[in-house]
Structure 1
Amino acid sequence: MKSFSRVFASLALAVCAAAAQANVVVVLNSRDASVTLLDQKTGSTLKTLDVGKEPHHLYPTPDNSMLIVANAQSDDLIFLDPVTGEFKARVKNIPDPYHLGFSPDKKWFVVNSLRLDRVDLYRHETVNGEPRFTLVKRIPTPKLPSHMIFSADSRFVYVTLQGTDEVAAIDLTTQQLAWKMPVGDTPAGIWASPSGLLFVGIMAKDYIDVIDPAKRQIVKQIKTGAEAHGVRGAGDGKLLYVSNRQANTISVVDMEKLEKLYDLPAPGGPDCMEVTADGKQIWFTSRWIKKVTVVDIASRKVVGQYPVGRSPHGLYFHNRAPWK
């Protein structure tokens, strides 16, 4: 593998000219151990580069100045410029960072370690311009902690447990597992509405569970489509998108009325999603066909498909709708 300095030096030259005209779409190719950068305006490939083994998920830093790519098998984090894709830093010795996120109050950086069956809590800071993470607590969990979402007040992080069909709540004030409750078969993505309800994709079935965490009860099941997996807010605090990987659809769910409104076409096994800042398009990784697909929401039509690497998973672009 080429050295990181050589790879990212050539990357910077490739993307700087394009960055003035368009944001870069960052796509994680999990099986290729690489990242593909697309021009958001044209869908053309700007660069594909090696980053580390099994990059699955990514997350912006609290100030949105950098984008973190988590390499689950390489046990490290890569920091990129979210607009140009330029390399900024690398943090080693973060074991199995499968899913990750910062608490809303910016005090905690949380990592779900899927293969190690634990959730790790870190403090984070920048020292001499370099990111630094200090491990505070390792919390053992039941099998396969997968996706996470935080409560609005930053007290809890909610984690789906794919191996035991549960959702767990970790209290960040005590750094302890507070509770867990059963949900449907193989829970995956999880989201929180402004009212505090949790929406959980039930991957082995065709619905999402709606949970009231205060009561620790499932208040409704909403049928979406086979292999309900990823969930992502539309940015307006009202609508939710659910990627149904086997059904090849993305369901639009009303988080207030707790009902599905309609489906969007989503060929190729839709997974992670992003919504443009104007709310007009949804971009998603088509996991099984090595592409990123773009759908016009108003017309409910596919308007673009762009080739990337094998098993594309996470994606991100700076010009996106808020994560709410």
Structure 2
Amino acid sequence: MRNSEFRRAAGRLAAAGALVCASFVSLAAHANNIIVLNSGDATLSLIDSQTHQVMGTVPTGKEPHHLFPTPDSRSLIVANSVSNNLLFVDPQTGKPQLLVENVEDPYQLGFSPNRKWFVTTALRLDRLDIYHYAGGAVFTVAKRLPLSAMPSHLAFTRDSRTVFVSLQSSGEIAAVDLPSQQVLWKMPVGAAPAGLWLTPGDKYLLVGMTGADYVAVVDWRNQKIVKQIAVGKAAHNFRSLADGRHVLVSSRVSNTISIVDEVALEKTGEIGDLLPGPDDMELSADKRYLWVTFRFAKQVGVIDMRTKKLIKTIPVGRSPHGIYFYDRAPVMAPNGA
């Protein structure tokens, strides 16, 4: 993928961009915009975090599930899994910047902490694609690694040597060595593993079990499950509370979000009475509000973290999934499925 190819791809966005540019002129001054991906509608919604109003809708490719900012924060990458491409958008306005074609089935995506590697999971193709990253929008394929079945979520170790991948259909997690692009090991963890989270110091790997009602605590160095933390049914995705101690776990069937102490490895609280299918989450810069996408309700919700109550719901498109805040460097691991 060379720069000339990116420029040609960007030209193909001109027509779509012309249709939405006018909507975003007045938004340039806003510093608190939120982007939500509507995977069922092939669009993204732009929401003003202060007024809770949807300020505009932008077409993406088919089935945009997950997103991730570039290391320089100048772009937000939207992975269009069915369209087989990556859409770069302005993280403040949602305006399309660049379209990268021929990226097969990019379901999940993420950069290693050292910014040398860019990784995508091809869930439909049972494959992990590993790229060398040279900055901006310059990727070169290091390896397309077969990895069955249904690779979805990612978590990187702090030293950028290892990426963990959940394999939803086979009930396993895999560890992949990035320098050699080889599978180090696989291990069974339970029914439909989904979100992954590394505890402080990379001591344990937490795995959300969507086919069950617990988080598996994995001693990944010894490939052993050391504990199960009971949470809601269909435990799915994680989001840090940004306090160095607690992580949130969304459960898509019980419609709850659990608060887990990632040091003591125990559940300490729960947020209930939510809409169907809580999935991806993001925390406001002041840590006061948690925003949640409800996959099965066509809604985004705002939770007051002081009262642990859902205080606002905002209609968006079908199957809202990934969510991104412009007003901060987000506490972001790759979002879940």
The residue aligned with 2:5 is none
Distance 2:208 2:331 in 1: 20
Match of 2:93, SS? coil
Indicate conservation of the 8 Å contact 2:239/2:331, yes or no. no
Structure 1 consecutive aligned stretches of length 4 or more whose deviation exceeds 4 Å: none
CA-CA distance at 1:277 after TM superposition: 1.4
Match of 2:98, SS? strand
Indicate conservation of the 8 Å contact 1:235/1:323, yes or no. no
Distance 1:248 1:234 in 2: 19
Distance 1:87 1:50 in 2: 9
The 5 Å alignment of 1:1-324 reads 4-126=13-135, 131-196=137-202, 197-265=204-272, 266-320=274-328, 321-323=330-332
Distance 2:161 2:216 in 1: 22
Distance 2:101 2:245 in 1: 38
Identity of aligned residues (%): 47
Greater relative contact order (Cα < 8 A, sep 6+): 2
Please report the TM-score for the alignment, with normalisation by the length of structure 2: 0.91
Once structures 1 and 2 are overlaid, which stretch shifts more, 101-110 or 133-142? 133-142
Distance 2:106 2:317 in 1: 20
The residue aligned with 2:7 is none
CA-CA distance at 1:238 after TM superposition: 1.3
Indicate conservation of the 8 Å contact 1:12/1:87, yes or no. no
The residue aligned with 2:6 is none
Please report the TM-score for the alignment, with normalisation by the length of structure 1: 0.95
Distance 2:244 2:166 in 1: 22
Once structures 1 and 2 are overlaid, which stretch shifts more, 109-118 or 19-28? 19-28
Distance 2:90 2:241 in 1: 24
Unaligned runs of 5+ in 1: none
Unaligned runs of 5+ in 2: 1-11
Give deviations 1:267-323, integer Å, cap 9, x for gaps: 221011111111111101011110000100110111211010001111111224533
Indicate conservation of the 8 Å contact 2:209/2:235, yes or no. yes
Indicate conservation of the 8 Å contact 1:91/1:132, yes or no. no
CA-CA distance at 1:124 after TM superposition: 2.5
Indicate conservation of the 8 Å contact 1:281/1:297, yes or no. yes
CA-CA distance at 1:9 after TM superposition: 3.2
Letter in 1 for 2:96: F
